[in-house]
């Protein structure tokens, strides 16, 4: 092979390598925009209790700890000063329903992990779906307590809140009830337990035995559910009457 042909072949090889590198760079830049975010940061935990619409108790790192949901706020259910607010019970019930419907996981942001009350600050997921976003979208919560750098999902939450506002559902059915400072208890308050529409009590559900429980919950219930009872959890696996 002549020197001229060898040089030409070498140039073609270099050119091909450059093209491959350029294409790879383009893919990395543009491909990332369309890629789904990873969920490697989600931590499976055990639900102990649903406290209200934006606070739960879980078992994490071997001990029971309260968790305050990041970036949202729901109306109060039994605040010492504010009392019981409209949609507070409904938010708690919906939160509890979601938490009992699948695998519970939490995600931390890059900022503070605990608040001043020593509660964990986290994003909450059931089967990979955001509970915060669901509550916002259903008009049972407002975007609140935005403290950078714990703002990873702020854009998605604000969009979910805007959808609820446009639909005029939940807390957005009450004019000027949800404000930047919280929920207006002075204008909207619950002075009688019968004034909140479609509200259920928070009392535990009681069943005589698993036969009775399965009439309402065919697959049984897990720990944290209002109907869960240790006496009906024979193998102590966290599920009753499964």
Give catalytic status of residue 68 as yes or no: yes
Pairing of strands 120-126, 63-69: parallel
Q: How far is residue 16 CA from its own chain's centroid?
A: 48
State the Cα angle at 226 between 221 and 231, rounded to 5°. 65
CB 232 within 8 A of CB 241: yes
- 44: β partners: 105
> Is-catalytic flag, 33?
no
Rounded Cα gap, residues 117 and 68, in angstroms: 10
Q: Using CA atoms, how far apart are residues 149 and 17, in angstroms rounded to an integer?
A: 41
Single out the catalytic residue among 68, 94, 142, 152. 68
Q: Which of 76, 89, 93, 138 is catalytic?
A: 76
Cα–Cα distances in angstroms (integers) from residue 93 to residues 2, 24, 89, in the given order: 83, 50, 6
Q: Single out the catalytic residue among 119, 137, 138, 142.
A: 119
56: Cβ–Cβ under 8 A, 6 or more apart, which residues? 47, 48, 49, 50, 66, 67, 95, 99, 124
Active site includes 119?
A: yes
Instruction: Give the separation between CA 102 and CA 174, rounded to whole angstroms.
Output: 32
User: So which residues are the catalytic ones?
Assistant: 68, 76, 119
């Amino acid at each position: 092979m002549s020197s001229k042909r060898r040089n030409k072949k070498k140039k073609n090889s270099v050119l091909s390598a450059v093209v491959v590198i350029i294409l790879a760079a383009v893919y990395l830049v543009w491909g990332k925009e369309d890629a789904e975010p990873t969920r490697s940061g989600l931590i499976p935990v055990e639900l102990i209790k649903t406290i209200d619409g934006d606070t739960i108790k879980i078992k994490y790192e071997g001990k029971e700890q309260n968790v305050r949901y990041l970036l949202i706020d729901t109306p109060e259910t039994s605040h010492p000063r504010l009392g019981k607010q409209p949609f507070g019970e409904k938010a708690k019930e919906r939160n509890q329903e979601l938490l009992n419907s699948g695998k519970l996981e939490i995600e931390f942001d890059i900022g503070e992990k605990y608040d001043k009350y020593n509660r964990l600050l986290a994003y909450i997921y059931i089967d990979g779906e955001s509970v915060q976003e669901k509550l916002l979208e259903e008009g049972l919560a407002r975007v609140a307590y935005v403290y950078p750098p714990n703002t990873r999902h702020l854009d998605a939450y604000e969009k979910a809140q805007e959808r609820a506002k446009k639909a005029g559902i939940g807390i957005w059915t009450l004019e000027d009830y949800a404000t930047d400072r919280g929920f207006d208890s002075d204008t909207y308050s619950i002075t009688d337990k019968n004034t909140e529409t479609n509200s259920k009590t928070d009392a535990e559900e009681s069943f005589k035995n698993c036969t009775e429980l399965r009439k309402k919950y065919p697959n049984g219930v897990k720990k944290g559910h209002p109907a869960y009872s240790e006496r009906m959890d024979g193998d102590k696996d966290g599920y009753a009457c499964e």
